[in-house]
Amino acid sequence: MKKPSIYISTLLACTLIFADGMAQSKPALNSFAMAASIRPAKNVSVTKPALPNVVILATGGTIAGAAATGTQAGYTSGQVTIDAMVDAVPDAKKIATIKGEQISNVGSQDMSFEIMLKLANRINELMKSGTDGVVITHGTDTMEETAYFLNLVVKTDKPVVLVGSMRPSTAMSADGPLNLYNAISVAADPQAKNHGVMLVMNDWIHSAQSFIKVSTQAVQTFMSPMRGIMGTSNYGKNEFYRVPHKKFGNKSEFSVDGIKEMPRVDIVYGCVDMDGQMIDAAVKAKAKGIVIAGVGNGNMTKAALEAVKRANKKGVIVVRSTRVGTGDVGRDVEIKDDEYGTIASLELNPQKSRILLATALANNKKHGDLQRIFDEY
């Protein structure tokens, strides 16, 4: 794999422009020196305030991806190390003291509960020590799942920020460096406290509770269609409009303490003429929970509902979510949840419903707790 060279040439260009600027501003510097020589020097010691400590936990993704040229669609995720990524954003060192740790280097299609548990435990450890904020570099494909999971289980009110990019580091107009700079600025910003886990990309600050990936290709791939964004980050200047609407962080009843493995929860996609076989197969595969990506308001065929009844009798929890992009799946709208033992996902899409159900089951929550949990998180 050819090493990315675009950042290096950009850096070189910036250094030359900066050097040129310094040469041209010489008279101004001279006049500062003259003023100092006229007035008697005072013994003023200026102590710069310490910069916030930000730790970047790198997991891979397109932000760490590389291709042979700057204009091709094909590339490989997770090629560039965290040190190289930080070196590409030298200005970030002016706003925070930065340390990087490589947690994994995978495309987020290969993100796993094992890596997510490692991340959660590491964040909890870091936040207990002197870290002021954490940034996680991550692929965009499953960003919403990791972000939502961390929002449920990290025990802190300090900022935790996910960031990625849609273009690899070698691309013409790569979006990674500015996204990373903005993410670091949010992680270092005291006003970002108590906003739960966030995503910062393309100048927008989203809550882990509300953002979803909406485009396979577009740079503006993340939206929070139901709740709107939480704020903006513009070249490191941050503004917040709202706080998350549901429970997270220190107020969450979930934790990862002692959890080594997450229970199996499968997603079954609803469609015309759906039969119950995929639901039965999930039960046979020993799923502890099933999320149905139902049609419309979490609906499904009569045959699928019969399979849901069978699953419920065997103690497998079934959550009704939807394949539709926006809107709540309400309890007892067309399907009587009490009759089928189902849980309505409300605002959560199937992939986030799966994360919440798996986390609740890992924390020993029972069927009777689950509708309240979907209401509150």
Whether 370 and 343 have beta carbons less than 8 Å apart is answered as yes
DSSP secondary structure string for all residues of 117-155? HHHHHHHHHHHHTT--EEEEE--STTHHHHHHHHHHH--
Comparison of 141 and 347: residue with beta carbon closer to ligand ASP: 141
Q: Nearer to ligand ASP by C-beta: 166 or 305?
A: 166
Of 109, 215, 220, 326, the residue at the interface with ligand ASP (CB under 6 A) is 109
Closest approach, Cβ 167 to ligand ASP, in A, equals: 8
| Alpha-carbon distances, residue 182 vs 109, 173, 231, 368 (angstroms) | 24, 16, 12, 42
Q: With contact defined as beta carbons under 8 Å apart, do 209 and 244 qualify?
A: yes
For residue 80, the minimal CB distance to ligand ASP (Å) is 12
**Residue 61 Cβ, how far from ligand ASP at the closest point, in Å?**
4
Please spell the DSSP secondary structure of 7-49, one letter per residue: HHHHHHHHHHHHHHHHHHTHHHHHHHHHHHHHSPPP----PPP
By beta-carbon distance, which residue lies closest to ligand ASP?
139
Of 47, 59, 62, 221, the catalytic one is 62
Token duo for residue 215: 């485009």
Element holding 103 (H helix, E strand): strand 97-106
124-153: contacts with ligand ASP (CB under 6 A): 139-141
Task: Please give the sequence-ordered ranges of beta strands (E in DSSP) within 132-230, or none if there are none.
Answer: 133-137, 160-163, 197-201, 204-207, 212-213, 222-223
Question: What are the DSSP calls for 334-360, one per residue?
Answer: SS-HHHHT-EE-BT--HHHHHHHHHHH
Q: Stretches 32-40, 106-114, 248-256, 355-363: which one binds ligand ASP (CB under 6 A)?
A: 106-114
Total site size for ligand ASP, rule CB under 6 A: 11
Identify whether 62 is a catalytic site residue. Answer: yes
Interface residues for ligand ASP in 47-66 (CB under 6 A)?
A: 61-62
Distance in Å, CB of 62 to ligand ASP, minimum: 3
- Nearest distance from C-beta of residue 164 to ligand ASP, angstroms: 5
CB 377 within 8 A of CB 369: no
Does position 363 interact with ligand ASP (CB under 6 A)? The reply is: no
Count Cα atoms within 13 angstroms, Cβ side, for 132. Answer: 18
CB-wise, 58 or 370, nearer to ligand ASP? 58
52 vs 78, beta carbon nearer ligand ASP: 78
- Contact map string, positions 161 to 200, toward ligand ASP, x by CB under 6 A: ---x-x----------------------------------
- Shortest separation between residue 253's beta carbon and ligand ASP, angstroms: 30
Q: Which residues, 6 or more positions from 249, have their beta carbon under 8 angstroms from its beta carbon?
A: 151, 154, 155, 156, 157, 194, 196, 197
Stretch that binds ligand ASP, among 101-109, 237-245, 256-264, 311-319 (CB under 6 A): 101-109
The length of the chain is 377
Torsion of CA 206, 211, 213, 218, to 10 degrees: -30
Does 77 participate in binding ligand ASP (rule CB under 6 A)?
Answer: yes
* Tokens linked to 205: 């600050």
Q: By rule CB under 6 A, what string of x and - marks binding of each residue 5-44 to ligand ASP?
A: ----------------------------------------
Give the residue, chosen from 4, 52, 100, 107, that forms a contact with ligand ASP under the rule CB under 6 A.
107
| Site for ligand ASP, residues 309 to 328, rule: CB under 6 A | none
What residue ranges bind ligand ASP (CB under 6 A)? 61-62, 77, 107-109, 139-141, 164, 166
As annotated, the active-site residues are 62
